[in-house]
Amino acid sequence: MTDTSQTAAAKKPRVSCEFFPPRGDSGLAGLTRVVDKLAAFGPDFYSCTYGAGGSTRDGTHDTIRHLLSLNLDAAPHLSIGADEKDSIFALLDDYRDMGVRRIVALRGDVPSGIGRARNTHNAESLVRWIREHSGDHFHLEVAAYPEVHPEAQSPEDDLEFFARKVDAGADSAITQYFYNPHAFYDFADRAAARGLTLPLIPGIMPITNFDGIVRFSKNCGADVPRWVLKRLESLEHDEPGIRAFGIEVVTRLCEDLLRWDVPGLHFYTLNRWGATNAVCRNLGLDQRQ
């Protein structure tokens, strides 16, 4: 494997790590241990997901409060789902008072049976509402889809709707995960040709087990290359083998992206530190301060 330590250290890519709200105080204590393990890479911020429809409203809030109490930069996700404007404004005020400076603004996918309606607005509306209510207080991250959002009519439409979110006031974007970097390069080129200059941060999903990655990728429209699936399949009963292979694949993906000069990496940690830690160490990100 190539040694990219020097390159990564010199360029200081932005690093962020995503969590979901853990359950209860013991869950938060567990998250503190994860944060301790990731601290060597000096993540610029930690984000926490939000279940569209409000299902994790308290959990996201408590996790953000906990991360802030550890003196970390914490960014709540806010998935508009079918939430009312007033309840979103109240949450924005609360986050501002807590010291939050960054929000990941999303439409979300409201699970069936939650809320009165499904996805009554898109992320563009949420970005507009946040700017209307909170001005420039928050740095706004939005989602981008190098392999095209599953509901989009066409790549052109998807890019156009992405551009509208940017025009509405997004500062930077984090992508859905992918394992083929050329999907990202193609999207970044098309975005640049459309005049979009905001930083595009690739979302990186560590591979730690076969079933999880297959199920998750099917739901969110991420493509897992055939050779990766075949290798994972053949390692099905070899957990250490899957972990080692996953770390190698994801390290090589990140090396490729850093060589291409991406402005940062956003790790979907799934509240675990092992794989993210191994990939960041391989990339020499512990030398970036």
Residues involved in catalysis: 18
Based on CB atoms, which residue is closest to ligand FAD, 102 or 149? 149
Q: At CA 99, angle to CA 114 and CA 31, rounded to 5?
A: 60
**CA 257/CA 4 separation, integer angstroms:** 11
Size of the site for ligand FAD (CB under 6 A): 25
Helix axes 57-69, 85-98, angle to 10 degrees: 10
Q: Which one of 36-44, 148-156, 190-198, 243-251 is the stretch in contact with ligand FAD (CB under 6 A)? A: 148-156
Residue whose pair of structure tokens reads 């999903």 in the numeric block: 205
Q: How many residues does the chain have?
A: 289
Of 63, 172, 176, 217, the one binding ligand FAD (CB under 6 A) is 176
Binding to ligand FAD in span 58-97, by CB under 6 A: 77, 79
Name the nearest CA neighbour of 7 among 254, 191, 272. Answer: 254
Q: Which one of 8-16, 45-53, 189-197, 211-219 is the stretch in contact with ligand FAD (CB under 6 A)? A: 45-53
Chain center to CA of 104: 9
SS3 content of the chain, % helix, strand, coil (to 5): 50, 15, 35
Per rule CB under 6 A, is residue 165 in the interface with ligand FAD? Answer: yes
Of 158, 242, 247, 255, the one binding ligand FAD (CB under 6 A) is 158
Q: Which one of 83-91, 143-151, 184-192, 238-246 is the stretch in contact with ligand FAD (CB under 6 A)? A: 143-151
Report in angstroms how near the CB of residue 5 gets to ligand FAD at its nearest.
27
Please return the burial class of 36, using the count of CB atoms within 10 Å of its CB with bins 0-12, 13-18 and 19+. Answer: exposed
Residues of the shown chain interacting with ligand FAD in the complex, contacts defined by CB under 6 A:
49-52, 77, 79, 104, 106-109, 122-124, 143, 149, 151-152, 157-158, 161, 165, 174, 176, 203
